Amino acid sequence: MQKHVYTRILFACLLLISTQLSAKNIQYVSDELTIPMRSGPTTSHKILKFLTSGTMVDVLDLSDDKKHTRIVLIKDESKSGWVETRLLMSQPSAREQLIAANKSSQVLKEKQATLKTELAELQKKNAEFQEVQSQLENKYLDLQNTLLKLRTNAAEPIRIADENEQLKQQLHNEQNKNIDLIKKNAFLADQNIKQWFMIGAGVSIGSLILGLLITRIRWKRRDSWGDVR
């Protein structure tokens, strides 16, 4: 499966490279070991440089007989010259293609290794985040339980305070009743004193009148007795 993926990616890379270079008339040095690049289109001209197999060149012109081609090096455009047309080809040699494929494969392998490393780091961080999340969830549950306990504990003083307030109100009512009873008792006691005072006064007046009457009766008897004498 991975080989198919690498093949597709390699094909895409080659296609991209070929697309970028399509604006130029790109040719490649053939599978010959080296070919000479001369200052002119004949073998009598001076050799400027030997080009190795797979060297990428840009075609500038052709000789009248088409046997020689004027080229410029892609990697060093300051260098140009003539080579035999038959020693050029439109596609890289199989060896160069293999080298390019191996390089691309190596790059892909390096990228794959990098991705694996990044994936491992991300998985590690994800595990750490999950651990932190688990700890936060546990703390949240603890806070919920603590809040519930606080609400329960807070409700008890409120209930006690309400009961105390009711007891205070009842005590106040009883105190008012006691005050009323005291006032009533004081009033009744005052009435009793007045009644006893009136009774005492009545008895005293009655005794006085009775004494006067008795005294009066005694004087009359003395007079009668005196008359008899």
Round the average pLDDT of the chain to a whole number and report it. 79
Distances (CA, A) of 19 to 8, 26, 182, 189: 16, 11, 117, 127
The pair of three-digit structure tokens given for residue 75, joined into one six-digit string = 């990697």
C-alpha 188/C-alpha 168 separation (Å) is: 30
State the virtual CA torsion across 119, 123, 129, 131 in degrees, nearest 10: -170
For 74-176, strand residue ranges (E) read 80-84, 88-89
Over residues 209-216, the mean pLDDT reads: 74
Q: Which position has the higher pLDDT, 80 or 196? A: 80
Q: Which position has the higher pLDDT, 182 or 33? A: 182
Residue 196 CA to its chain's centroid (Å):
91
| Least confident stretch, 67-76, 89-98, 205-214 | 89-98
pLDDT value at 82 more than 90 = yes
C-alpha 179/C-alpha 185 separation (Å) is: 10
| Helix (H/G/I), strand (E/B), else coil: 16 | helix
Radius of gyration for the chain, computed over Cα atoms and rounded to the nearest angstrom: 67
Is residue 89 within 8 Å of 27, Cβ to Cβ? yes
Residue closest to 91 by CA, chosen among 12, 32, 28: 28
- pLDDT band for position 228 (50/70/90)? very low
What is the per-residue pLDDT for 28?
65
What is the per-residue pLDDT for 9?
60
Q: What percent of the chain has pLDDT over 90?
A: 24
Q: Which position has the higher pLDDT, 17 or 205? A: 205
